[in-house]
Structure 1
């Protein structure tokens, strides 16, 4: 009978520990990225009794393992673009400054005062580094955002699609370089567009359209080439003489040819004349060659109008926002409208993730039983995708935990009854001698 006392005690200890596991799960029901655990029971080695048949009597129970359950948690939408959630397997990798590497499913990231992306513990998010062209280098390191700028890009193409009114009278272009732009009456129509030099300085470039004959127009390009004042000059398209661009239309008003000095044979409406712009006054030493694309322009009997106009340069830009795509690519959005890839989040995968060591603060450490990590970009090597503006909720199922709690409570009560019943039986035994 004494054995039953110790059997009951083992049940009390095991179910008490199971209740602790359940309580921990319930307490962390609202912890981001938390993974529930489960207490796994096993019987204790049975006692073999003598006799013709080997009779065995159980000696109770014990907790053989507390298993981590890495099932997927629900993704919740947030307003922070650096809130990241993993859908699928894998862990974010964070580095303690001058310390160990940790792994986590909690993606509550932000930028610290030094410009690095960190978790709430101040540990640095690890990612694949990228070169200036946005290509992954393979090196893993910290993500640095402070001081990021988008370099300027010089304009080398102006695209202008216009309709020039076929009802216009012919005009005679008259312009002399100086402090004023061409006067009305010396052209039929004009447009203007801002372009950028190699240092990101903006410059207004004007295009004046003059009708010289039926179905024939000229385009004259004028700009200011003085950084300290106003000095409007006409672009030279013919290496030494002030030669405009000639635009020829067919009898249906469609563009038939664009040329500088001699018509093309056959006509070439896609020809792009090149303007050499002098921005040396701004410190740009080499002439800036800019192609002029007038393709698809028309001459219809309707008002002069710009159908489409664009240029491919831009100024320097400062960082105003950060985005993260499903592949974990972190990109900066800049004031000049450019988007620049900065880094790509790296995820770690373990063969035996349930054997990772929990160290608190939503962090795990690699253990001997878990094996080493396999690193990869989101969506590769069996790891999941990353979603921005999202957090993974705890995978605790409260209904299931309450059922386990009831079962643990009843088992605990039953084991108490085993002990009290055994005690009563021992009392009866002691009363035999009375």
Structure 2
């Protein structure tokens, strides 16, 4: 019976929904993480009786038709790019973006990736890198024995060289924006790649028109809301159970039909 296949598509859809929710919950403490949301669409319909069909020579038409749906499919799992909360860390190289923008990161293969994770560190050469060791673009090198590292709202990096008391500007953190942030490709490690759907990056400085500003000594937390995710999880579980119940009921109907034919 058609109901078996229809209910099966519903179970598969809710299974994927639970996977998305579980990934959101698992990343509740991931710096700069943006939650995902499963979106669904109904499948094609079999038109047993088409609405608007003429039913007599006098021109009367069917006011409603008979359409039998074939289930549901996943349309996408877009990311919700809303702002996460800011948490002070008191670490000089931790930087959060308050507003629009992504940090630029150079991958080992030369590609440019983008991230909201501003938990930066220094490598043995004093270069500013991510927690995976990927270089920040444009590159910034902290001179040896420097003190008083400051990063202002525009992303200007200044230090006080050894033996002096005057701060010196050593680099500039740039930000990138995209017309369609949800079109970025996730590659793990809190990184995204540009795609045709995201559009080309627009580069600029913190505080410029459209760009957010930078907060030194802070990190942006994940935008996952625990209560909302648990509520969605319960709803997905109930929907899965109802689809399973449809399969069970359809099986009983088939058994009754088979018994009648014996």
The alignment's TM-score, normalised by the length of structure 1, stands at 0.56
Alpha-carbon distance, 1:98 to partner: 4.5
CA contact (8 A) 2:18 2:233 kept: yes
- Measure the CA separation in 2 of the matches of 1:98 and 1:33: 23
- From 244, 249, 253, give the equivalent of 1:421: 249
Q: Residue in 2 aligned with 1:21? A: 20
Alpha-carbon distance, 1:414 to partner: 0.1
Superimposed CA distance per residue, residues 309-368 of structure 1 (whole angstroms, 9 cap, x where no aligned partner) = xxxxxxxxx622311111111001234210111112100000001010000000000011
- Measure the CA separation in 2 of the matches of 1:96 and 1:4: 49
Q: Residue in 1 aligned with 2:98? A: 87
Give ranges in structure 1 of 5+ residues lacking alignment. Answer: 127-140, 148-317
Structure 1 position 11 matched with structure 2 position 23: no
Alpha-carbon distance, 1:67 to partner: 1.2
Taking the TM superposition and a 5 Å limit, the aligned residue runs for 1:4-153 are: 4-50=3-49, 53=62, 54-126=65-137, 141-147=138-144
Report the structure number with the largest CA radius of gyration: 1
CA contact (8 A) 1:96 1:122 kept: no
SS at match of 2:37: strand
Q: What RMSD in Å do the two structures reach over aligned CA positions? A: 1.3
Q: Residue in 2 aligned with 1:246? A: none
SS at match of 1:11: helix
SS at match of 2:38: strand
CA contact (8 A) 1:323 1:333 kept: no
Taking the TM superposition and a 5 Å limit, the aligned residue runs for 1:226-245 are: none
Q: RCO (CA 8 Å, sep 6+): is it higher in 1 or 2? A: 2
Give ranges in structure 2 of 5+ residues lacking alignment. Answer: 56-61
- Higher strand fraction (1 or 2): 1
Q: Residue in 1 aligned with 2:58? A: none
CA contact (8 A) 1:33 1:105 kept: yes
Q: Residue in 2 aligned with 1:245? A: none
TM-aligned CA distance change 1:98 to 1:425, over 3 Å: closer
| Displaced runs of 4 or more, over 4 A | none
Aligned residues: 249
- Higher helix fraction (1 or 2): 2
